[in-house]
Amino acid sequence: MKRRTFFKTTALAGGTLAVAPLNSCVQNPARQAAPEDFTSFELNEISISQLQEKMKAGTMTSEEITRKYLDRIEQIDQNGPKLRSVIEVNPEALEIAKQLDAERKSGKVRGPLHGIPVLIKDNIDTGDKMQTTAGSLALVGALAPDDAAIIAKLREAGAVLLGKTNLSEWANFRSTRSSSGWSGRGGQVRNPYSTDRSPCGSSSGTGVAVSANLCAIGIGTETDGSIVCPSGINGIVGIKPTLGLWNGDGIIPISHSQDTAGPMARSVADAAILLGALAEKPQDFTSELKSDGLKNARIGIAADFFGFSKEVDQLMAKAVQTLKDGGATVIENLKFENREEWGKLEWQVLISEFKADLNAYLQTRAGLKVQLLADLIAFNQANADTELKWFGQEIFEDAEKTKGLDDPEYKKALEKVKEMSQKGIEKMMDEHQLDALIAPTNGPSWTIDLVNGDHFGGGSSEPAAIAGFPAITVPAGFVHGLPVGISFFGRAWSEPTLIKLAYAYEQATKHRNSPGFLKSIE
C-alpha cells in the first residue's frame, strides 16, 4: 500500500467511527467474518519429493500446483500481511506448467524438478516477459535479452519459473544505512514471523517467499551474507556454494571474486536437489542425506562469531550438544588469525569490482536508461523522491571513484584477502583435522527502520564469502519467536560433507516451524 493511500484510507475510516456504535447494535456476531488464517494452506511445508509423488500418482498436476502458489502469493504477498516478497509473477507460469504436464503424460519426466514451481531473485536475467531490475527503477522497461546460465539449466530441468522476488536494491550495495529488503521498485519486504521485523538481505524476497510457502523452492544470490542471513532470519535452509559451482553469467554483479547464486529451501533435502541440478557439472548431492551423518565427524567452533547475543549463544550450546550426541567430536574456541584485516581488504575489492563488473553487465542490456554506474548515480539523483527517499547511494559514489581492475591497490587487496581467508580456513581445518566449522548464522531479526537503516546484531558469513568457499545454514531454534540459524562451512568443494552434516543436524532437531504472520512479537 502506498503511503498516500494509507493516509486516505485512515481518514475515511476515521469518518465512520461516529456511526459505528449504532451499527454494532444490529449486527449479528455470527455473521461477522472470522480473521483469515494465513497459516492454513494445502501445500504448506510440502517437499519436492512429496510434490513429485502427487504428480506421479495423478492426484495433482503441475498446473494445479502452480495455480495454488499463484493464489497464495495474491493472498499473502499482495494482500493480507503484504509481505512484498514477490516483485513480479511470471505471466507464462501456467502455460509452462501445462506443457510440463503434457510431457509427463507422454512419459517424459526430466528429473526431480519437473513441474516444480521456483521463485528467483530479481537480479537474475530471464529472457522472457519478466523484468530484471535488481529492484531499481532505473532498469525497468528494457527486458534482459537471454536467460542467465542457471535459468537455462532451471528450464532444462523442467522447473516452472513462477516469478521473481523482491530484494535489497542492488543486492544491498548502494548505501551503508539501507533497510534490508527495501527496493525502489518493490517496496519493503517483511518478515513472515513478525511483519514489523526485517527479513535481512539481500535475498530478502526469496527467503520470505520460501518460508511463507509461496513457492516450492527459491534461488538467491550472495556476495557476503545475502543467502545465509535471510535464510537464517526467515527460518529456512540456504546454501552458498563454492564460487564456480554455479555459473554466474547473467546475474547483476557486485564482485566476480565473491558473487554466487544458491538454493534457498525449507529443508536440506530440497536445497540439495536444486544445488545438484544447477551445478556446472550436475551432481547428485542427495546421496549425502544420511541421518547418521554426524557420526565420527570433527567439527570446529569458530569462536570469532559468538558472543554478540546471550540468547543466541544458548541456542548454539544446545546445537553443539546435538552434534556431540550425534557422534561428532567438537573442537572449541578456534579463532582466525588476522581476521580484523579481512573486512577492510574485502571492501576495497568489492567497490573496485562493482564498478568494473556492473559497467560490463549494463553493456549487455540494450535499451536501458543507464549504461554506466555514473549514469545510475545521476538517475537516482534525478529521481530522488522515489529512489533516494529513505537512504542515499554513498557506496555507489565511493565505487565510482575507484581506478579499475589494473589498480595496484585493488590487486594487492584481492591477493592478500584471498590468501588470508582461504589459507586461514584451510590451516584451521588441517591443524584440527576438521570436516567443517560452525557458527551462528544470525541474531534475531530487528525491527524495520527505514529512517536509520538496519540494526544488524551479528553473523558469520564473512570467512566463506571472502574465501569463495561453501556454507550452509539450517534452522537452530528461536529467540522470542524469531528464527536463528546455524552455519556449517569449510573448504572449497566440500558441499557433500556440509550437506551430510547439515542434514543430520536438521533431522535430529527439526527446528523448522512455519511462520505465523504476527504483526508484532509483543
Q: Any idea what DSSP says for residue 234?
A: T
Q: Any idea what DSSP says for residue 34?
A: P
* Three cell numbers written together for 436: 567443517
Please check whether residue 396 is in contact with residue 293, taking contact to mean a CB–CB distance below 8 angstroms.
no
Name the nearest CA neighbour of 464 among 353, 374, 342, 354: 342
**CATH assignment, 44-509:** 3.90.1300.10
247-277 as b/e, with b when 16 or more CB fall inside 10 Å? Answer: bbebbbbbbebbbbbbbbbbbbbbbbbbbbb
Please check whether residue 221 is in contact with residue 121, taking contact to mean a CB–CB distance below 8 angstroms.
yes
Supply the pLDDT for residue 36.
80
496-500's contacts with Cβ under 8 Å and 24+ in sequence apart are 496/285, 496/287, 496/288, 497/288, 497/435, 497/436, 498/436, 498/470, 498/471, 498/472, 499/239, 499/268, 499/272, 499/275, 499/285, 499/288, 499/289, 499/472, 500/288, 500/289, 500/290, 500/293
Give the separation between CA 165 and CA 211, rounded to whole angstroms.
Answer: 13
Name the nearest CA neighbour of 349 among 256, 421, 261: 256
Helix (H, G, I), strand (E, B) or coil at 488: strand
- Three-state SS string over 74-137 comes to HHHHHCCCCCCCEEEECCCHHHHHHHHHHHHHCCCCCCCCCCCEEEEECCECCCCCCCCCCCCH
Tens-place pLDDT, residues 382-414: 999 999 999 999 999 999 999 999 999 999 999
Give the separation between CA 326 and CA 9, rounded to whole angstroms.
Answer: 55
Name the residue type at position 97. A
Give the separation between CA 189 and CA 207, rounded to whole angstroms.
Answer: 10
Give the separation between CA 332 and CA 328, rounded to whole angstroms.
Answer: 12
Catalytic residue among 178, 226, 231, 352: 226
CA distances from 378 to 123, 170, 327 (A): 21, 15, 58
DSSP E strands: which ranges in 321-457? 329-334, 436-440
> What are the extents of the domains in the chain?
44-509
- Give mean pLDDT in consecutive 10-residue pieces for the chain, a chain of 522 residues: 30 32 38 70 98 98 98 96 98 98 98 98 98 98 97 98 98 98 98 98 98 98 98 99 98 98 99 98 96 98 98 98 98 95 96 98 96 98 98 98 98 98 98 98 98 97 98 98 98 98 99 97 89
DSSP labels for 434-457?
A: -SEEEEE-B-PPPBP-TTT-----
Tens-place pLDDT, residues 206-261: 999 999 999 999 999 999 999 999 999 999 999 999 999 999 999 999 999 999 99
Give the separation between CA 185 and CA 136, rounded to whole angstroms.
Answer: 6
CA distances from 276 to 268, 281, 288, 454, 507 (A): 12, 8, 12, 34, 20
* Three cell numbers written together for 351: 567497490
Name the residue type at position 480. H
| Whether the model pTM is above 0.85 | yes
Catalytic residue among 62, 179, 202, 255: 202
Catalytic residue among 62, 121, 164, 168: 121
Name the residue type at position 3. R
Give the separation between CA 43 and CA 51, rounded to whole angstroms.
Answer: 9
Give the separation between CA 66 and CA 74, rounded to whole angstroms.
Answer: 13
Name the nearest CA neighbour of 424 among 339, 321, 324: 339
**Element spanning 262, H or E:** strand 260-265
Name the nearest CA neighbour of 207 among 218, 222, 196: 218
226 is catalytic: yes
Give the separation between CA 108 and CA 282, rounded to whole angstroms.
Answer: 19
Give the separation between CA 132 and CA 43, rounded to whole angstroms.
Answer: 28
121 is catalytic: yes
Beta bridge partners of 330: 299
Q: Any idea what DSSP says for residue 280?
A: S
- What is the gyration radius of the CA atoms in the chain, in angstroms? 23
Whether residue 202 is preceded by a cis peptide bond, meaning omega within 30 degrees of 0, is: yes
Helix axes 48-57, 268-277, angle to 10 degrees: 80
The angle formed by the CA atoms of residues 178, 180 and 184, to the nearest 5 degrees, is 70
* Three cell numbers written together for 439: 557458527
CA distances from 56 to 52, 98, 114, 260, 276 (A): 6, 15, 11, 33, 22
Give the separation between CA 378 and CA 286, rounded to whole angstroms.
Answer: 48
Name the nearest CA neighbour of 437 among 248, 289, 302: 302
202 is catalytic: yes
Give the separation between CA 440 and CA 419, rounded to whole angstroms.
Answer: 24
The angle formed by the CA atoms of residues 460, 450 and 131, to the nearest 5 degrees, is 80
* Three cell numbers written together for 240: 552458498
